[in-house]
Amino acid sequence: MDFSVLTPYGDLIVEGVKVTLLTSFGSLFLAVVFGFLLVLGRISSVPIIQAPFRIVINIIRGVPVLVQVYIFYFGLAQTNLLLPAWLCGVLALGLYGGGYMAEILRSGINSVSGGQIEASRSLGFTRRQTMRLIVWPQAIRISIPPAGGEFIRIMKATSLFAAIAVTELTYSGMIIRAETYASFEVYLPIAGIYLLITSVILTCFYFIEKSMVRKGWAVQ
């Protein structure tokens, strides 16, 4: 294998990494926002409010992310709403990630023992104070590790943007491979770059979790 074929394409690979990271962080931001909005409705004590949010979450999680990307890209274009391809991808992936993030947060909330909630009520805490001071800090702490895994899933899913010609890392590799006919020489380094990015993300989330423990948000 001759990896020197990649030398003329350094700028293209760098651009692919940049687009991958930017779309990943954009999608993650939207996933967190959508996740919080969805989980607020999902944990509502009013059934008529809870049911629609449960249905929406199930639909989001049940439809493949690539199909959702196509709906945003081709579907919106059919209504004459023309958005950049990368924005369609970020919106679709952010919504998809939001469905999973909502369930991650709900799981974190449900893991807080009922005894703590009853104790806060006996001390005169309102429901809002209980959620803000007792439930959410622990739920967020518990949700950090799975949220890190979801971020990795979102980052890797940006490779699907190649289907709508967004020049992220995978699409950059497709361009190089089409011009050089080199497969291993192209995709092995790209796989290594993805692995490096995911390792950095895991390390960051590890230190975030440790920092939250040191600040007293929760105990190990």
Whether residue 88 contacts residue 164, with contact meaning beta carbons closer than 8 Å, is answered with yes
* 18 HSE (CA, 13 A, CB side): 6
Task: Give the pLDDT band (50/70/90) at residue 146.
Answer: confident
Stated pTM of the model:
0.87
pLDDT at residue 219 is higher than 50 = no
pLDDT digits (tens, 9 = 90+) for 21-30: 999 999 999 9
Residue 4 has pLDDT above 90, yes or no: no
Question: Could you read off the pLDDT of 36-88 as tens digits, one per residue?
Answer: 999 988 888 788 888 999 999 999 999 999 999 999 999 998 988 889 999 99
47, two tokens: 């059934």
The per-residue pLDDT for 142 is: 83
Low-confidence winner among 73-82, 136-145, 149-158, 211-220 (lowest mean pLDDT): 211-220
When mean pLDDT is compared across 21-35, 123-137, 166-180, the lowest value belongs to 123-137
**Alpha carbon distance 75, 82 (integer Å):** 10
- What structural domains does the chain harbor? 8-214 (1.10.3720.10)
pLDDT at 170: 95
What phi-psi label fits residue 44: left (phi over 0), alpha (psi between -120 and 50 degrees) or beta?
Answer: beta
Per-residue pLDDT reduced to its tens digit, 188-209: 999 999 999 999 988 888 888 7
